[in-house]
Structure 1
Amino acid sequence: MSRVVEFTEYGGPEVLKIVDVVVPEPAADEVRIAVKAIGLNRAESMWRHGNYVEPVLLPARLGYEVSGYVDAVGADVTGFFVGDQVTTVPAFSQNDYGMYGELVLAPASAVIRHAEPLPHAEATTLWNVFITPYGALLEDGTMKKGDNVLIPAASSGIGLGTIQIVNAGGGVSIALTRTSAKREQLLAAGAAHVIATEEQDLVAEVMRITDGKGADIVFDPVGGPTFAKLISASAPGATLFLYGALSDEPTSLPLLEIIPKKPIIRGYNLFELTTDRKRLEAATSYILAGVANGTFKPTIARTFAFDDIVEAHRHLEKNQHFGKIVVSV
């Protein structure tokens, strides 16, 4: 038996319930994991609301990222042994697997073995945080040395990971945050510049920082009405990634600027990388090397107990945390 989190209706954090289930032996391509820590993602909040990039089938499980120990392996699975420390990466549908639980099944293709063990709370904050910007900015060389990169929602887990990825690739990280309350924290986290978008003129500040050129790349998880300002703050031919939809408002496009500037607007999803084994191996090797030498360090905003999963999701949706929220199991 295992305690897991599920929901039978869409809604706020209160729809999440901890229930007892029987976790079967792993199938031929699965690994069973005794979970020690869970990393929360905004995608899981959207999933809980039934507002995601794929239909959510009720009753539903949820969760992409955990750290723990291998409890059992399927017959055809190689490279994993009982007792190995492992983590999971977002590389599957939450209709098929949900990682919020004490004992869970995961597809072997989404499991990473840690040759050098890490504290579980830290290990479960690595992949979404760093693979997301790595795949967009570094993997195919989109970002060049010296490129100015705008990072909206910079105090989120992925935002902080993006600052570090940009810095590692020789770019100039320009962190966007609503107020100046987190300015010093963002500078301490490595941001070259910080703009408080509710207190400063976003476009004017970007132009000042870039000597009138504008941003070369925008890595945006928000969309909504501010996206038009991001285009205005971009250089001609800039690449703007949309990898999330945190805003509930329509995303407008300033056509009279798009026509002469000819920006590249790209939707981005880390699954295109994480579901390709060779690309995933290259990404995780790069990130683990960066963790080992101190280049990459995830930031844990707050840790909740497993029994407090509802409160953890409430905290997630306040959008006031700095870093990644972790649940201890």
Structure 2
Amino acid sequence: MKAIMMTAVGGPEVLSLQDIDEPQMASPTDIKVKLHAAGVNPIDTKVRSRGVFFPNPLPAVLGCDGAGEVVAVGAAVDRFKPGDKVWFCHGGLGREPGNYADYTVLDQRWAGLMPNTLSFAEAAASPLVLITAWGALFDRGGLQAGQTVLIHAGAGGVGHVAIQLAKLKGARVITTVSSEQKAEFVEALGADEVINYRTHDFAEAVNQLTDGKGCDLVFDTVGPAVFEQSIPATSHFGRLVTILDPGALNWAEARMRNLLIGFELMLTPMLRDLHEARDRHVAILNQCAAWFDQGRLQVHVGEQLPLAGAASAHAKIEEGHTQGKIVLTI
């Protein structure tokens, strides 16, 4: 089969299209999936540039997000049958092969039935960002109806689904973007107020919009500088959640505000084999599938590239400012 192989730690040029053996089912609860699309996420570029999480030798197949059709099932499989369309976040971290390939094998426990209304590309774009946004907003952030949330980089992969999940919860959503085009995009997704961080100090703007109270929850998807600048935009006794390492900073104002600081790394259950937590990930996908099919949730695929375009996809993500998700079609 064809697969994109990470042959060394380095830039996008270490990704190459190769012929390798098809994976084989090893457990009676395994399913074999013919992949039709693989989502490309920032974590893929970090694994490529920094190294895999496990001591297995290279080469490795990257790509956590996948969607495709079940082509074979193990003797004990009771959730799926050949022909079923499935989506999942599995592999691609250096132990199990990822989804930049023609086929993959995974335990049925980690897959869900695709939403009926999504294409393979849309389904492959969705799992990691949905689980990440859900965890940050609800599990770590405790977001409730009627609260105000600031979602940074609202036009990005995580941000654009976070806006929709927050609105489904009944929250008021403020978000940051870098252009008028992206402002129009997030407004169409339901954002209540939009701040262009290139032309406005977002913390000042947030406090103006909230009568000086700040947001009940701030969700940082950008990094250390934005995290630190978000502290005065968070209400006293509020919550500030990040998906990145905030680095060394002055915590004095966060302490004065009695903030709860949260970290959301949705990869932890895969890296630490926390199976019950991974079951929750699948439950999140099942709930989101229902919302997709009800027309209450959407995912934006900003660009589709062929499997051979993986290196180009990585380069685009590392350049920054993508809108929605990039997907490899297989």
Q: Does TM, scored on the shorter chain, surpass 0.5?
A: yes
Distance 2:92 2:3 in 1: 18
TM norm structure 1:
0.90
Number of the residue aligned with 2:286: 285
Q: Deviations over 1:159-185 (max 9, x none)?
A: 000000010001111111234442222
Cα deviation, residue 69, structure 1: 0.7
Q: Deviations over 1:28-60 (max 9, x none)?
A: 142211111111111111111126776775222
Q: Which runs of 5+ in 1 are unaligned?
A: none
- 1:316 counterpart SS class: helix
Q: Deviations over 1:78-105 (max 9, x none)?
A: 2221121111224784422211101222
Q: Which runs of 5+ in 2 are unaligned?
A: none
How many pairs were matched up?
324
1:199 to 2:195 alignment: no
- 1:76 counterpart SS class: coil
Number of the residue aligned with 2:253: 257
Cα deviation, residue 138, structure 1: 3.0
Partners of 1:227 and 1:251 within 8 A in 2: no
Shift in alpha-carbon separation, 1:117–1:151, aligned structure 2, 3 A:
closer
Q: Deviations over 1:271-293 (max 9, x none)?
A: 46784255234312321121111
Number of the residue aligned with 1:226: 226
Number of the residue aligned with 1:295: 296
Distance 1:238 1:55 in 2: 40
Partners of 2:152 and 2:222 within 8 A in 1: yes
Distance 2:129 2:70 in 1: 23
Distance 2:314 2:202 in 1: 30
Shift in alpha-carbon separation, 1:290–1:213, aligned structure 2, 3 A:
same
Q: How does 1:87-236 map to 2 (within 5 A)?
A: 87-90=87-90, 93-114=93-114, 116=116, 118-138=118-138, 142-236=142-236
Number of the residue aligned with 2:264: 268
Number of the residue aligned with 1:320: 321
AA aligned opposite 2:307: F
Cα deviation, residue 220, structure 1: 1.3
Shift in alpha-carbon separation, 1:53–1:149, aligned structure 2, 3 A:
farther
Q: Which has the higher contact order (CA 8 A, sep 6+)?
A: 2
Shift in alpha-carbon separation, 1:303–1:267, aligned structure 2, 3 A:
same
Distance 2:291 2:321 in 1: 27
TM norm structure 2:
0.90
Q: Percent identity?
A: 29
Larger displacement relative to structure 2 (76-85 or 225-234): 76-85
Partners of 2:33 and 2:69 within 8 A in 1: yes
- 2:83 counterpart SS class: coil
